Amino acid sequence: MPPSLRLIGFTLIATGLSSCSLLRNLSGGSEAPKVAPPPVVHDQPRSAPLQPGQNVIVKAVERVGPSVVRIDTEKNINNPMGQLFGLGPSTQRQQGQGSGFITRANGLIFTNEHVVRGADRVNVTLPDGRRFQGTVLGGDPLTDVAVVKVVAENLPVASLGNSDQLRPGEWAIAIGNPFGLNNTVTAGIISAVDRTDANIGEGQRVPYIQTDAAVNPGNSGGPLISAAGEVIGMNTAIRKAPGAGLSFAVPINLAKRIAQQIVSTGQASHPFIGVQLRSLTPQLAREINATSTRCTVPVVNGVLVVDVVPDTPAEAAGIRQCDLIRAVNGTTVENPSEVQLAVDRGSVGQPMQITIERNGLEQSLEVLPKELPRRR
């Protein structure tokens, strides 16, 4: 298998329910369960953030570079020709490669889920030449975040920044192992933030960081670094188009939240309420009003509920077809992607306030999200 990095075309990838779906069913009980504090998945920075200035890229790389690792994987796959005709062995060994970065000195490593998916063996190599056998603690296909553990102490640790404060135009520095070329550094700028329309991955549950820093197969799972010498994202995909030159990273705040869940339970949790949504425009509203006998919608921009899945939290809470969703837990939403991101920031079984507009009147409904059904 070639070095790992997803190549993204221009087709829309489905979300957990449909291309504009959100989902889940009611948890039993009237009292919300007590939530334990999340596990520690990263060590605190050992020094203050770098101050932007001369040679800032060099200084940022010197700080984070020692914690960036190469991840080599091996997977045994069936050889149908060998099984049917005796042409070679019945199984073949498939190799892959990606990147990752150490977040705890005791050997906790963040990487992409697609880098270690199905791997029978994972080897981790540090820039100083040390090599360890890794154990995959878990991975989340929806966000493409995975956590690997090696048995070690006093490893170099990457400082994690705050991806919620990023702005287009800031420096973006990538470190990884593209095409097996270890410790390769590229730089560019943050081209955009909160990209949910880039047709990446399993849906719209990730507000991707878009950058023009050169990223290639093998960079998957490696860090995207700020001028302050802090990890702001995890490189996960590139745009497949002539001359595109765009790459996308999972924001580090999201990666950290998913990693905490993986370390706690071995898997990530995604709330589900059970609605299908569509962006409403004045033109679409007029078309609906002219052709539909089920409802009349206001001639405005908004998020329209086009269907409510039976036996789901949304149905139990009283959300109906043709409602407009205006806010989720107090956060105003303007398109289906923003609704899905807001829902995903909630917790399974914890009350979620959904503000809807129905017949020109706003009302707040309490929804108890269920766990998103997992693919088998």
Is 114 annotated in the active site? yes
- Taking the C-alpha atoms of residue 284 and residue 159, their distance in angstroms, rounded to an integer, is 47
What's CA 271's distance to the chain center, in Å?
Answer: 14
Tell me which of 144, 159, 269, 270 is the catalytic residue: 144
Measured CA to CA in angstroms, residue 122 lies from 73, 89, 147, 154 at distances of: 5, 22, 12, 21
**How many of the other CB atoms lie within 10 Å of CB of 128?**
8
Q: What are phi and psi of 331, to 5 degrees?
A: -95, 120
Q: Name the residue type at position 368.
A: L
Report CA dihedral (329, 332, 333, 339) to the nearest 10 degrees: -10
Catalytic residue among 42, 114, 226, 323: 114
Rounded Cα gap, residues 10 and 80, in angstroms? 32
Q: Is 220 a catalytic residue?
A: yes
43 is catalytic: no
β-strands 68-78, 331-332: how paired? unpaired
Considering the candidates 99, 191, 220, 337, report the single residue annotated as catalytic.
220
Distance separating alpha carbons of residues 69 and 85, to the nearest angstrom: 41
Q: 118-121, long-range: CB within 8 Å, 24+ apart, which pairs? A: 118/75, 119/73, 119/74, 119/75, 120/74, 120/75, 120/76, 121/73, 121/74
Active site residues per annotation: 114, 144, 220
